[in-house]
Amino acid sequence: MFFSLLWLFFISYGYTKDKSETSLEADKVFVEEDGWIVAEGNVKITYKGTVIEADQAEVNKHERIVRAFGHVYLNEQGDQAQGELLTYNLRKKEGIIFRGKGKTKNFRLKGNNVNDYIYFRGEEASTKPGNFLLDMGDFTTCDRDHPHEHYNMTAKSIDVEPGEKLVAKNVSVYYKGYKIFWLPIMIISLKERERQQFLPQMGYNQFEGFFIKQLINYYINTNHYGSTNISYASKLGVSWGATHNYRVGQTGQGSFSYLRQSSQNIVNNQFSFRHAQNLSDRLTMNYTFNVSKSTGTRLVTNPNINSTINLNYRGDQFNTSFSTRYFKGSSLNQNISFSLTHNHTFFQKFTTNLQVNSVNDSGPNTNDRNQLKLLLTGRSPMGPLNMDFTVDYAGANFIQYYTQKLPNVNFAYVNPIMIGDINIPITTSFGFGYFDEQSSKTKMYRGYLKLNYNRNFTLGEGNNLNISSYLDQTFYGSGEARYILNTNINLSNSFANHYRSQLNFTSNIPDGYSPFSFDGIGSRYHAITYQMELYDESKWRFTLNTGYNITDESFQTLITRFDFRPRNNLIFNFGFAYDLNNHQAQNFDTHLDLQVHPEWRFEYASSYNFVSNSFGNQDFKITKDCHCWLWSLAYRTYRDEFLLQVAIKAFPYETFQIGASPEGPILPILQDIQNQISNPNFQF
């Protein structure tokens, strides 16, 4: 017997919102007096994208709670689970399945173009919006059927906050059925690509020698978690540290950390503390404190201390912030500063910004100096004009190279000039003010007038001409003046999606004299630049760039680059730089990326300097793709360094690049731990 009981859900109960979205199908259906519906045989329940199938089920038509038994199947918008028993709240989209298995996108992974499902098996799995929890189970991101997956992890509990982090306790990691390591806790960030800290980092470079770095996470609860890190480098010794993150309800969070870093008989100790607190819906507070001190053989230094407090209040039409900073350096120099900033909008048009700064500098070998600075800016539309004004005052002790504006007012006419019915694409701006420049000891009035011209011309299909120019005339209270006439003409064209180019002419003609250093007139020049590109989007691309300075009759360096992709598994490119003035080759670089096998990828990058007759870098990288995980080995001759990386592809991970710039190591060295600690946004 088959029943369709859609109507039973709303007889005499008035659930009109759920009426068209809820259905129950089964071989047998019984309606209990207490509001429960009992269904048996081929049960199927559908509600707003959720589908539940089972041998038997009980449904509460008031609360939309389902209890399903026997061969239970749940599909929640692509997430799938199978088990023996299910309790599920259809309205809240949360429930628990026992002795189940399935897959879920609750991970929201941001890996490298791989399957973003997590496949799980466990005694108990619970899900709700914003959380997935698995008890006494195992999981993997490998989509091969159990037990043939490449890897899996068993854990006492696995807690996933989508888009935030995964926390697993008492974790054993298996590769093809073999246990390879165990961790008491594993925390994986799901926010962005970074090193997968549960795997050690190993390598070698000239600065550290052979090194190994490992970060060990701990997790107390959602409000308290962190990590300890330890690294060993054969040339530097042992460095270690710890970071603890905490939350105070829904309104506060912070962290404190310590790092002991060794470097050639010198030990650097650093401590950092940060706290952010929402004091109300409008008022926030941020506090930071950092102290560091270096010790070593024949080295005694005073600690560096840096502390800041910031308060910010947001109103409907204004924003006010107050901050104070204290700094004391190892040479006993001291700086104390206070800052007040207030932004206000009047009548939804007139905006102002007020900044008041007070700074006190002192040191063992210098006199105390108190500085007071006031900056007031504002903007207001005045019909076709926009007005900006600035008052910049720093008192008697303002520092060198500072320029006071007492005041300065600017006007901009943003609409083109109209002469009758003729539209001339010229905009104007003008202003005046009183300036006090410390570096030149100059005080006087200053005014300016600036005309801007900009117009585009279409010269047939794929051809465009743009002409822009400005005339900047500045007057001074001393009777002197200066002007600058700048012109830019750009001709661009393209053809048949295989060719595009740009020919650009730039001219700068200054004249006159300025008594102010900041108002330098610049140099006179006329120059032509040319950029050309030939390409077939799917196979190859050739670019050429050069230029000519008409003023000093010199060429710009000719730079060419060729990118070639003859097959899907091969990418080859090289670049060449040539000095047209001295008729000498300068640099050559090349990069080869070859997929030699579906699982093997080889990369080579090098550069050569013809002037010094030497290689800048020669880099090699081999990557083995193992379906759901990979390993890479890179070697760079420039710093005689190599790095081994093992990563699970679905988890966000930081890749290292070869070629391009040989200035730094493949990945940050000891400093990377310090940067993590000093980064206020760093979280697991």
Domain harbouring 44, CATH code: 2.60.450
Structural domains in the chain (count): 2
Range in 27-31, 214-218, 230-234, 417-421 with the lowest mean pLDDT: 417-421
Which comes out higher in pLDDT, residue 18 or 461? 461
Residue 173 has pLDDT above 90, yes or no: no
Q: Are 18 and 46 in contact (CB under 8 A)?
A: no
Tell me the per-residue pLDDT of 443-462, one tens digit each, with 9 for 90 and over: 999 999 999 999 999 988 88
Q: Mean pLDDT over residues 561-582, rounded?
A: 90
Q: At 372, is the pLDDT very low, low, confident or very high (cuts 50, 70, 90)?
A: confident
| In the predicted structure, residue 276 carries a pLDDT above the cut 80 | yes
pLDDT digits (tens, 9 = 90+) for 187-245: 776 665 444 556 777 888 887 888 888 878 777 887 888 888 888 888 888 889 999 99
- Asked if residue 58 belongs to a domain, the reply is yes
Q: Is residue 545 part of a domain?
A: yes
Mean per-residue pLDDT, 375-383? 87
Judge contact between 257 and 272, C-beta under 8 A: yes
Higher pLDDT, 362 or 553: 553
Q: Per-residue pLDDT for 97 more than 60?
A: yes
Q: Within a domain: residue 10? A: yes
Beta bridge partners of 346: 350
Q: Which residue would you say has higher pLDDT here, 439 or 323?
A: 323
pLDDT, position 464: 94
- Which pLDDT band holds residue 299 (cuts at 50, 70, 90)? low
Residue ending a domain, among 52, 71, 104, is: 104
Q: Is the pLDDT at 673 greater than 60, yes or no?
A: no
pLDDT of residue 16: 39
pLDDT(615) > 90: no
More confident residue, 308 or 79: 308
Sign of CA dihedral 649, 652, 658, 660: positive
CA pair distance 82, 235, nearest whole angstrom: 54
Confidence of residue 639 (pLDDT cuts 50, 70, 90): confident
The pLDDT of residue 290 is above 50: yes
Which tokens is 676 given? 């993590």
Higher pLDDT, 376 or 218: 376
Of 75, 104, 133, the domain-final residue: 104
Q: Indicate the pLDDT class of residue 326, thresholds 50, 70 and 90.
A: very high
b/e 299-327 (16+ beta carbons within 10 angstroms → b): eeeeebbbebebbbeeeeeeebbbbebeb
Q: What is the mean pLDDT of residues 544-548?
A: 95
What is the pLDDT, as a whole number, of residue 528?
A: 96
The highest-confidence range among 31-35, 99-103, 423-427, 617-621, by mean pLDDT, is 617-621
In a domain, 316, yes or no: no
Query: In this structure, are residues 117 and 103 in contact, taking their beta carbons and an 8 Å threshold?
Result: yes
pLDDT band at 642 (very low <50, low <70, confident <90, very high): confident
Query: Tokens 């019984």 identify what position?
Result: 30
**Contact assessment for residue 45 and residue 29, using Cβ atoms and an 8 Å cutoff:** no
* Residue-averaged pLDDT of the chain: 82
DSSP-assigned letters across all residues of 426-495:
EEEEEEEEEEEETTTTEEEEEEEEEEEEEEEEE-STTEEEEEEEEEEEEEETTS-EEEEEEEEEEEEEEE
Q: What gap in Å lies between CA 332 and CA 318, rounded to an integer?
A: 39
Looking at the chain, the whole-number percentage of residues with pLDDT higher than 90 is 32
Q: Do the beta carbons of residue 684 and residue 225 sit within 8 Å?
A: yes
Peptide bond into 200 cis (omega under 30): no
Most confident among 275-279, 456-460, 533-537 (mean pLDDT): 275-279
DSSP code at position 672: H
pLDDT, greater one: 654 or 103 = 103
Residue 607 near residue 588 (C-beta atoms within 8 A) = yes
Sign for the CA dihedral angle at 206, 209, 210, 212 comes to: negative
Q: Which residue has the higher pLDDT, 546 or 105?
A: 546
pLDDT above 90 (res 582): yes
Q: What is the pLDDT of residue 526?
A: 95
Please report, in angstroms and rounded to a whole number, the separation of the first and last CA atoms in the chain: 55
Domain boundary among 51, 77, 104: 104
Is residue 308 helix, strand or coil? strand
Instruction: Give yes or no for residue 524 having a pLDDT over 60.
Output: yes
Q: Taking the CA atoms of the chain, what radius of gyration do you get in angstroms?
A: 34
User: Is 74 a domain residue?
Assistant: yes
Measured torsion, CA atoms of residues 652, 658, 663, 667, in degrees rounded to the nearest 10:
30
CA distance 670 to 386: 52
Higher pLDDT, 668 or 224: 224
β-strands 201-205, 417-419: how paired?
Answer: unpaired
Around Cβ 658, how many Cβ atoms within 10 Å?
A: 20
Say whether pLDDT at 138 is over 90.
no
Look at residue 401 in the predicted model and tell me its pLDDT. 54
**What is the C-alpha separation between 108 and 103, in angstroms, rounded?**
12
| Average pLDDT value for residue range 377-398 | 82
Structural domain including 501 reads: 446-515+523-556
**Lowest mean pLDDT across 84-93, 187-196, 459-468, 606-615:** 187-196
Q: Kindly give the residue spans of alpha helices, DSSP state H, lying in 126-285.
A: none
In a domain, 48, yes or no: yes
- Asked if residue 431 lies in contact with residue 447, where contact means CB atoms within 8 angstroms, the answer is yes
pLDDT > 60? residue 18:
no
Residues 6 or more apart whose CB falls under 8 angstroms from that of 70 comprise 54, 55, 56, 84
Q: How is residue 181 written in tokens?
A: 């390591």
- The answer as to whether 325 is a domain residue is no
Over residues 32-37, the mean pLDDT reads 80
Query: Does residue 259 fall inside a structural domain?
Result: no
| Residue 8 pLDDT level (bands cut at 50, 70, 90) | very low
Among 344, 377, 349, 402, smallest CA distance to 518 is for 402
**pLDDT band of 301, cuts 50, 70, 90:** confident
Question: What angle (nearest 5°) sits at the alpha carbon of residue 79, between those of residues 147 and 144?
Answer: 20
